[in-house]
Amino acid sequence: MQRKLMLLFLPFLACSPMKTAQQYWVAHDLDATIRECKAIVAKDSSAIDAYALLSRAYWEKGVLDSAQLAAETAFRLAPEEVAVRSHLAELYSHRAEQASIAGDLRTVLHFAKQAQATLPDHALYLERLGDIYAQLGRHDQAIEYYQQISADSAVQSRSKSKQDSLHSLNVQAQAEVEKGLQLYQRKSWSAAANRFARARELKPDYDRARYYFHLASGQSLNRKGLDNQLWEAIEHFGLASSIFPDRGEPHFWMATAYHKKDAKEYQNAISEFEMCAQVEPEGPFAKQAREKAAELRAHQNKMQDFWGRK
């Protein structure tokens, strides 16, 4: 594969060292090819063709880090050269495939993004990124990449089918969230949590479903009221607050769980009530949160004065 593209990449040069490196490459003497190319770039750090051939020789030997370094150097020297860009994108794509075989999705995503960034309009690289994000449950990002595929591309109809499938899942997830919200408003916490959990299965990147799943789960545990359940409730409310940091409701319920767990421990409850009002001062829980914080602080001061007199 590498050898067939050599002539597209490396024009015939009168320079004897480069001709020698090409002859070694044609003879499939990879070590000699690498040695000659390294000698060339040691004398001339702008020798694009030598870096390009060096990258191909390293690639064929399976030394991918060195192949990538040489290809990236050639790209920095000649970013507008189509053959240079194509080779680097192919190398990134190959590394993504290798990572996929190993089951390393993080690395797959890294190299797939590198390939697409190198050739931004390449349909197969856009499709691969869409596929990876779909596999990761990040539907919105997957659809974004599928939509960038040109209408005249051979893979466009395939990517359109994938978009339609994801849209269908998103619609189903939204319907589950709407049902969950109705249950949440009726304080049917467990049933609501089940609906939100189903929405998360359909669309794992659905922040609204994740947010209300943690709120409903926390409310269900908070209602039961045992110490270990209250700790779990606090954890769920904390996770909800991390999804939408500018909402006060998770802090309000976290405060109530702290106070329910230990009515004599004031500081955590007061802190969360105050945080509720701070992050969403005009929100639906802000007024009650300020009142609750003031009430607990007054009771705390009263108890401190009482025990101080004792």
Domain boundary among 83, 115, 146: 146
- Structural contact between residues 52 and 29, judged by C-beta atoms closer than 8 angstroms: no
Helical pair 286-309 and 267-279, crossing angle rounded to 10 deg: 150
As given in the structure block, the two tokens for residue 173 are: 């997830």
- Asked whether residue 190 falls in the same domain as residue 295, the answer is yes
Residue 123 resides in a domain: yes
Identify the band that residue 305 occupies on the pLDDT scale cut at 50, 70 and 90: low
- Asked whether residue 181 falls in the same domain as residue 222, the answer is yes
DSSP string, the chain: -TTTTHHHHS---S-HHHHHHHHHHHTT-HHHHHHHHHHHHHH-TT-HHHHHHHHHHHHHHT-HHHHHHHHHHHHHH-TT-HHHHHHHHHHHHHHHHHHHHTT-HHHHHHHHHHHHHHSTT-HHHHHHHHHHHHHTT-HHHHHHHHHTS-TTSTTHHHHHHHHHHHHHHHHHHHHHHHHHHHHHHTT-HHHHHHHHHHHHHH-TT-HHHHHHHHHHHHHHHHHH--HHHHHHHHHHHHHHHHHSTT-SHHHHHHHHHHHHH-TT--HHHHHHHHHHHHH-TTSTTHHHHHHHHHHHHHHHHHHHHHHHH-
Cα–Cα distances in angstroms (integers) from residue 171 to residues 180, 192, 209, in the given order: 14, 18, 13
In tens, the pLDDT along 10-67 reads: 444 444 799 999 999 999 999 999 999 999 999 999 999 999 999 999 999 999 999 9
- Asked whether residue 126 falls in the same domain as residue 176, the answer is no
- Asked whether residue 188 falls in the same domain as residue 261, the answer is yes
Q: CATH number for the domain including 14?
A: 1.25.40.10
- Asked whether residue 134 falls in the same domain as residue 209, the answer is no
Residue type at 61 in one-letter notation: K
- Asked whether residue 191 falls in the same domain as residue 292, the answer is yes
Residue 156 resides in a domain: no
Residue 155 resides in a domain: no
- Asked whether residue 116 falls in the same domain as residue 181, the answer is no
Residue 35 resides in a domain: yes
Domain of residue 263: give its range: 168-309
In tens, the pLDDT along 176-225 reads: 999 999 999 999 999 999 999 999 999 999 999 999 999 999 999 999 88
pTM above threshold 0.85: no
Residue 225 resides in a domain: yes
In tens, the pLDDT along 55-98 reads: 999 999 999 999 999 999 999 999 999 999 999 999 999 999 99
- Asked whether residue 215 falls in the same domain as residue 131, the answer is no
**Cα 77 from Cα 156, distance rounded (Å):** 33
In tens, the pLDDT along 113-122 reads: 999 999 999 9
**Cα 91 from Cα 69, distance rounded (Å):** 11
- Asked whether residue 179 falls in the same domain as residue 129, the answer is no
Handedness of CA 267, 268, 270, 271 (dihedral sign): positive
- Asked whether residue 179 falls in the same domain as residue 289, the answer is yes
- Asked whether residue 121 falls in the same domain as residue 22, the answer is yes
What total number of domains does the chain contain? Answer: 2
Residue 106 resides in a domain: yes
- Asked whether residue 265 falls in the same domain as residue 215, the answer is yes
